[in-house]
């Protein structure tokens, strides 16, 4: 080992001039320079070139001097552009000269060029300069890759791998606390760091980029101009290069870890560091300081106070004290992040997994938070009374303000977003340990504000990590930490703060919780650290942190790092992103804009209209992040935004969309697939863009085939929006704005068994109601007319979800056909397996129509429609007039249609419709037993109606009640509708993917609403 206490060679200026002349042929002047071990002179040559003459300490083994010259030679050969000193050969052409010292010792001598620049020690350290230093070192070390020399394998106090030896110097530290501080770093080094060092990349490094060895360009102070003094170079771990440079460059920095991160990032850009290297950087910086202060103390004890030795001692102590207060995991996260690595290994996979699986998570609250009306708590506004009273630790006042706000705005759940800058964190615990003078003010959890006692459930299976009570004012109160290890996801921890102490008594570390199991309840201010009741819910992707070490609030500067360590828990808690961000126009603005630029009779649902911004499965999400259970819109047959359909549409649109004048596979495949779902005979398909268009086409076919325009429809039917279909829609022509029944249209009574005369035997309903059709035919006959068409929905919908009595269509079809007419089934609402038992609702009546029209669910939202008929009718329609429909049957529509058929079959959705439909029927019938106002419950598959009556005997329609129920069900986050001539039938047509849980949700809300509305009425 080098004897570092051996004094520097005593060589005079004159002797130096003489050595320079003799060995290097330079007749210059020499000025002495400071050096710890060697004797250095600045040499000015007659040509004004500047040099450093180094007379090496005689105690230094020659091999080390040779190593240095070899190193310079290597750089000269391989990286002539690097800003490092250049070696001047001796007059004999050698790299090293030798001179006898005054004591007779043999000294190696070398001459290197003087590099211009101002020492970093005398420069202003800026982030850009730190980065430049990092990149200068990165370039240097990249150039040194692969270089080796026996002299590089030195045993040396300054080799970071030897840093543990500082323990033997601890007795030189007088102050007990200082010693304890160093011991903490040494203990961690011995326990964790030392064992990992041998596995790291090693090579020759400079090893002493202290601020006197780094030169800054005075013209461009953000740039490092050169690196000097390779006296400490050795073969060691590469990361030591960065650690050593940091140990000096970040002394007294406002944000030392931030400064180290810039330096490391600069290095990384030139010479990519590895995660396992960065993971030790924090400790290696500290250990360089530990080495430095202990060596200084040892030498001070041995030598007469050498100011050079203790030059950086005081700032080193200051930095050590700061590092000691920091959490090394957080510091490491900052360093890793600066180099583009995850703040904690696996962090990005955790957030990715949660996002991909968010729909499978168990709800954290009794009712899924997505479905609740939400608002942000005002902690982002420092002047809001809730913020002010919370900061003043007056939780009762804060709670009262929030409760009043919720009552006024119908809010059920308050949200405190991730990342929000808040002024409520007034206590000392929120002082930053990283940035001098800064506070931690940005929220790193997700707050859910609900009344104390609100029960909270784990969204995923978990093991209890810890349960503790934190007593600090404005702390967590009862704090629970759970660990989750879902399949396919790195483990992560969730933190549950401000809980009732009950959880502490019930749970203990090691307990296993199923997904959906109770974690605890929101605590009162007495238990929860002195806050308005809420849950602080947080994820930590670093599972090594103890619950109390997890930062609940962080520095704004490091939000990007905290976002990976403690990602936003909104997805895990089931809070839709729309809760936090609104786009586009507000609801009133849209209403006003519609008034200004759209038809005034374009109807809007609800007196307080909803703005939806996203659909997902059975849910529609509004502009404030509330998810409504969609039990009304049957167009989204497979659920909103079904991925298969979206992909089919997008894929085909990206490839080709044209019209039926060109050949394409999709239209014929689709026609084959569609007709295969229908009874034999219904074999010819044609495509259109809307239900109305399909019915219009059907009408043309019927008229061509029969030569008659006379049609029989059922009362209160609706078949489309064109004039000829309005003429066939009593629901339109009989109501406001309608012109009454046209002469060619004949209206049969709606065959509504619930309202059948009491004296009719039930098994005669079909026959009795069919008589109304017979009467219309007779009426026509009296006018010398005959029916061309009988048109009916297979389950009349706008007439009030009316289920035709068994055998009704068979009776009617026979009558119509006997009179020379054809029969069409409008399956625009009820087709595509909605009834569950069959593909088509007419099949439940045991009939085969002559024409079937389809729309709404056919493309899961893509505007398309179809007409399927017999070859005979198709032949009649082929009367010489070409049929062309610009958009009908285009490749994109057919792709959508095919995807819908595929999904219905693949996912067994007809079976689901049947099972869930039966379940809903049973549950609604059970409600009927409890509520007299429910006159009738009817349904088939996922097509259901509940008729509300004032009196079960008279069956007087409870129209106002039905409207109120509809509104209040909406207020509870569920969409249904009202229908029927008296608008007293609750109408439900949920998507085919409706689950039992969705069914329970719907029934629960209807039940709750009925109870509440009836209680108000009482």
CB of 686 or CB of 692, closer to ligand PLP? 692
b or e along 803-840 (b: 16 or more beta carbons within 10 Å of the residue's beta carbon)? bbbebbbebbbebbeebebbbbbbbbbbbbbbbbebbb
Binders of ligand PLP among residues 19 to 48 (CB under 6 A) are none
CB of 229 or CB of 793, closer to ligand PLP? 793
Give the shortest CB-809-to-ligand PLP separation in angstroms: 15
Give the shortest CB-724-to-ligand PLP separation in angstroms: 12
Site string for ligand PLP, 685-724 (x = CB under 6 A): -----xxx--x----------------------xxxx---
Give the shortest CB-555-to-ligand PLP separation in angstroms: 56
CB of 796 or CB of 917, closer to ligand PLP? 796
Give the shortest CB-826-to-ligand PLP separation in angstroms: 5
Instruction: Collect all residues with Cβ–Cβ distance below 8 Å to 691 and sequence separation of at least 6.
Output: 719, 720, 826, 828, 853, 854, 855, 856, 865
Q: Are 335 and 265 in contact (CB under 8 A)?
A: no
Question: How far is residue 843's CA from residue 828's CA, in Å, rounded to a whole number?
Answer: 15
Give the shortest CB-793-to-ligand PLP separation in angstroms: 5
CB of 498 or CB of 719, closer to ligand PLP? 719
CB of 720 or CB of 973, closer to ligand PLP? 720
Q: How many residues does this entry show for the chain?
A: 1018
Give the shortest CB-599-to-ligand PLP separation in angstroms: 15
b or e along 121-158 (b: 16 or more beta carbons within 10 Å of the residue's beta carbon)? bebebebebbbbbbbbbbbbbbbbeebebebbebebbb
Which position's Cβ is nearest ligand PLP?
Answer: 691
CA 620 to chain centre: 19
Which H or E run contains 836?
none
Give the shortest CB-829-to-ligand PLP separation in angstroms: 5
C-beta neighbour count of 514 within 10 angstroms: 12
Give the shortest CB-830-to-ligand PLP separation in angstroms: 8
Q: Rounded to whole angstroms, what are the CA distances from 747 to 730, 739, 742, 772?
A: 8, 15, 10, 9
CB of 539 or CB of 851, closer to ligand PLP? 851
Give the shortest CB-622-to-ligand PLP separation in angstroms: 23
Binders of ligand PLP among residues 583 to 642 (CB under 6 A) are none
CB of 659 or CB of 721, closer to ligand PLP? 721
Q: Rounded to whole angstroms, what are the CA distances from 132 to 75, 114, 241, 268, 285?
A: 19, 20, 14, 11, 19
User: Nearest 5°: CA angle at 916, between 915 and 921?
Assistant: 100
CB of 602 or CB of 758, closer to ligand PLP? 602
Give the shortest CB-804-to-ligand PLP separation in angstroms: 14
CB of 415 or CB of 649, closer to ligand PLP? 649
Q: Are 13 and 32 in contact (CB under 8 A)?
A: yes
Binders of ligand PLP among residues 833 to 862 (CB under 6 A) are 855
Dihedral of the alpha carbons of 236, 239, 241, 242, in degrees to the nearest 10: -170
Bridge partners for 320 per DSSP: none
CB of 695 or CB of 860, closer to ligand PLP? 695
CB of 633 or CB of 876, closer to ligand PLP? 633
Record the tokens describing residue 309, joined without a space.
Answer: 């030795």
Q: Edge-to-edge, what's the strand order for the sheet holding 535-540?
A: 374-376, 413-416, 446-449, 535-540, 492-499, 477-484, 462-470, 512-513
DSSP assignment string, 119-168: EGGGS---HHHHHHHHHHHHHHHHHHTT---GGGS---TT-GGGGGGGGG
Q: Are 759 and 773 in contact (CB under 8 A)?
A: no
Q: Which residue bears the tokens 């990384």?
A: 268
Record the tokens describing residue 200, joined without a space.
Answer: 């790291």
CB of 295 or CB of 851, closer to ligand PLP? 851
Phi-psi region of 908 (alpha: psi -120 to 50; beta: other; left: phi over 0): left
Give the shortest CB-855-to-ligand PLP separation in angstroms: 4
SS (H, E, C) 884-950: CCCCCCCHHHHHHHHHHHHHHHHCCHHHHHHHHHHHHHHHHHHHHHHCCCEEEEEEECCEEEEEEEE
Binders of ligand PLP among residues 51 to 70 (CB under 6 A) are none
Question: How far is residue 252's CA from residue 239's CA, in Å, rounded to a whole number?
Answer: 22
Alpha helices in 311-376 (DSSP H): 313-325, 328-338, 347-357
Considering only 383-391, 611-619, 684-692, 982-990, which stretch makes contact with ligand PLP by CB under 6 A? Answer: 684-692
Binding of ligand PLP by 727 (CB under 6 A): no
Q: Rounded to whole angstroms, what are the CA distances from 387 to 300, 426, 945, 961?
A: 55, 11, 48, 42
C-beta neighbour count of 738 within 10 angstroms: 14
Give the shortest CB-796-to-ligand PLP separation in angstroms: 8
Give the shortest CB-863-to-ligand PLP separation in angstroms: 8
Binders of ligand PLP among residues 803 to 832 (CB under 6 A) are 826, 828-829
Give the shortest CB-587-to-ligand PLP separation in angstroms: 25
Q: Are 819 and 851 in contact (CB under 8 A)?
A: no
Give the shortest CB-566-to-ligand PLP separation in angstroms: 49
CB of 341 or CB of 718, closer to ligand PLP? 718
Question: How far is residue 794's CA from residue 814's CA, in Å, rounded to a whole number?
Answer: 16
Site residue total, ligand PLP (CB under 6 A): 14
Which H or E run contains 813?
helix 808-818
Give the shortest CB-344-to-ligand PLP separation in angstroms: 52
Give the shortest CB-725-to-ligand PLP separation in angstroms: 7
CB of 573 or CB of 825, closer to ligand PLP? 825
Q: Supply the angle between the helices 643-655 and 891-906 in degrees, to the nearest 10.
A: 150
Site string for ligand PLP, 532-571 (x = CB under 6 A): ----------------------------------------
CB of 419 or CB of 863, closer to ligand PLP? 863
CB of 628 or CB of 718, closer to ligand PLP? 718
Question: How far is residue 555's CA from residue 442's CA, in Å, rounded to a whole number?
Answer: 6
Binding of ligand PLP by 793 (CB under 6 A): yes
Phi-psi region of 871 (alpha: psi -120 to 50; beta: other; left: phi over 0): alpha
Q: Are 628 and 610 in contact (CB under 8 A)?
A: yes
Bridge partners for 421 per DSSP: 442
CB of 186 or CB of 809, closer to ligand PLP? 809
CB of 236 or CB of 860, closer to ligand PLP? 860
Q: Which residues bind ligand PLP (CB under 6 A)?
A: 690-692, 695, 718-721, 793, 797, 826, 828-829, 855
């Amino acid at each position: 080992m080098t004897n570092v206490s051996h004094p520097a060679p005593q060589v005079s200026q004159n002797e130096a001039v003489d050595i320079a002349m003799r060995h290097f042929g330079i007749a210059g002047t020499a000025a002495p320079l400071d050096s710890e071990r060697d004797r250095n002179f600045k040499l000015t040559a007659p040509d004004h070139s500047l040099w450093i003459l180094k007379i090496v300490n005689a105690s230094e083994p020659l091999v080390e001097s040779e190593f240095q010259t070899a190193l310079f030679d290597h750089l000269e050969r391989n990286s002539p552009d690097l800003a490092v000193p250049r070696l001047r050969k001796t007059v004999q052409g050698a790299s090293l000269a030798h001179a006898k010292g005054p004591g007779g010792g043999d000294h190696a001598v070398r001459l290197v060029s003087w590099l211009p620049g101002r020492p970093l020690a005398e420069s202003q350290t800026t982030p850009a300069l730190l980065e430049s230093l990092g990149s200068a070192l990165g370039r240097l070390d990249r150039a040194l890759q692969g270089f080796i020399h026996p002299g590089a394998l030195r045993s040396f106090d300054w080799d970071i791998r030897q840093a543990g030896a500082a323990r033997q110097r601890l007795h030189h530290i007088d102050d007990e606390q200082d010693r304890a501080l160093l011991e903490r770093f040494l203990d961690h080094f011995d326990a964790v760091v030392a064992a990992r060092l041998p596995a790291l990349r090693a090579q020759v490094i400079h090893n002493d980029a202290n601020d006197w060895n780094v030169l800054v360009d005075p013209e461009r102070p953000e740039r490092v101009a050169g690196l000097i003094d390779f006296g400490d170079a050795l073969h060691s771990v590469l990361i030591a290069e960065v650690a050593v440079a940091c140990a000096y460059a970040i002394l007294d920095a406002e944000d030392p870890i931030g400064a180290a991160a810039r330096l490391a990032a600069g290095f990384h850009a030139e010479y990519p560091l590895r995660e396992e290297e960065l993971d030790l950087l924090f400790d290696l910086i500290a250990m360089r300081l530990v080495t430095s202060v202990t060596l200084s103390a040892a030498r001070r004890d041995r030598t007469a106070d050498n100011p050079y030795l203790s030059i950086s001692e005081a700032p080193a102590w200051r930095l050590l004290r700061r590092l000691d207060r920091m959490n090394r995991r957080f510091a490491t996260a900052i360093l890793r992040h600066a180099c583009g690595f995850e703040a904690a290994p696996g962090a990005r996979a955790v957030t990715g997994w949660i996002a991909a699986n968010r729909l499978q998570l168990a709800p954290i609250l009794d009712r899924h938070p997505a479905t609740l009306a939400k608002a942000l708590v005002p902690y982002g506004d420092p002047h809001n009374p809730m913020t002010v009273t919370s900061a003043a630790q007056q939780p009762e006042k804060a709670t009262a303000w929030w409760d009043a706000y919720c009552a006024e705005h119908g809010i059920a759940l308050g949200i405190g977003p991730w990342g929000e800058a808040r002024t409520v964190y007034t206590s000392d615990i929120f002082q930053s340990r990283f940035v001098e003078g800064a506070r931690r003010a940005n929220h790193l959890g997700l707050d859910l504000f609900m009344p104390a006692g609100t029960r909270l459930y784990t969204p995923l299976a978990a093991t209890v990590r810890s349960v503790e009570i934190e007593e600090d004012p404005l702390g967590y109160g009862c704090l629970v930490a759970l660990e989750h290890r879902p399949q396919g996801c790195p483990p992560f921890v969730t933190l549950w703060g401000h809980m009732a102490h009950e959880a502490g008594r019930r749970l203990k570390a090691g307990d296993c919780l199923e997904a959906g199991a109770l974690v605890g309840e929101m605590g009162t201010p007495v238990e929860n650290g002195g806050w308005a009741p809420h849950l602080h819910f947080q994820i930590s992707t670093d599972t090594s942190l103890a619950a109390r070490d997890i930062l609940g609030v962080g520095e704004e500067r490091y939000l990007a790092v905290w976002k990976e360590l403690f990602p936003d828990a909104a997805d895990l808690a089931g809070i839709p992103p729309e809760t936090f961000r609104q786009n586009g126009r507000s609801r009133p603005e849209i209403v006003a804009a519609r008034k200004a630029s759209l038809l005034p009779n374009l109807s809007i649902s609800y007196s307080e209209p909803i703005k939806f911004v996203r659909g997902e499965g059975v849910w529609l999400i509004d502009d404030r992040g509330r998810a409504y259970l969609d039990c009304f819109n049957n167009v989204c047959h497979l659920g909103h935004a079904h991925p298969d359909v979206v992909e089919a549409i997008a894929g085909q649109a990206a490839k080709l969309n044209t019209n039926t004048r060109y050949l394409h596979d999709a239209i014929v495949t689709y026609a084959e697939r569609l007709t295969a779902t229908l009874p034999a005979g219904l074999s010819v398909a044609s495509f259109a863009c809307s239900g109305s268009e399909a019915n219009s086409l059907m009408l043309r076919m019927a008229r061509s085939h029969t030569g008659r325009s006379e049609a029989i429809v059922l009362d209160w039917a609706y078949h489309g929006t064109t004039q000829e279909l309005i003429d066939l829609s009593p629901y339109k022509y009989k109501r406001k704005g309608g012109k009454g029944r046209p002469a060619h249209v004949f209206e049969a009574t709606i065959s509504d068994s619930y309202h059948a005369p009491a004296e009719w035997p039930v098994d005669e309903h079909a026959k009795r109601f069919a008589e109304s059709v017979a009467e219309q035919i007779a009426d026509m006959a009296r006018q010398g007319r005959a029916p061309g068409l009988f048109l009916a929905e297979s389950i009349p919908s706008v007439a009030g979800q009316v289920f035709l009595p068994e055998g009704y269509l068979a009776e009617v079809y026979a009558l119509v056909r006997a009179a020379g007419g054809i029969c069409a089934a409008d399956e625009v609402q009820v087709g595509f397996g909605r009834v569950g038992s069959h593909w088509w609702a007419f099949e439940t009546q045991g009939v085969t129509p002559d024409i079937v029209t389809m729309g709404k669910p056919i493309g899961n939202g893509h505007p398309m429609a179809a007409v399927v008929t017999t070859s005979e009718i198709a032949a009649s329609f082929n009367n010489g007039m070409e049929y062309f429909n610009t958009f009908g049957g285009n490749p994109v529509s057919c792709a959508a249609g095919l995807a819908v058929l595929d999904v219905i079959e693949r996912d067994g959705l007809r079976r689901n419709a049947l099972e869930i439909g039966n379940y809903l029927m049973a549950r609604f019938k059970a409600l009927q037993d409890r509520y007299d106002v429910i006159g009738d419950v009817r349904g088939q598959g996922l097509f259901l109606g509940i008729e509300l009556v004032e009196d079960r005997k008279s069956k007087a329609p409870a129209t106002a009640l039905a409207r109120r129920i509809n509104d209040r069900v909406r207020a509870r986050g569920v969409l249904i509708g009202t229908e029927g001539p008296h608008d007293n039938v609750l109408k439900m047509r949920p998507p085919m993917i409706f689950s039992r849980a969705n069914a329970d949700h719907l029934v629960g809300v209807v039940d709750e609403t009925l109870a509440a509305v009836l209680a108000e009425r009482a």
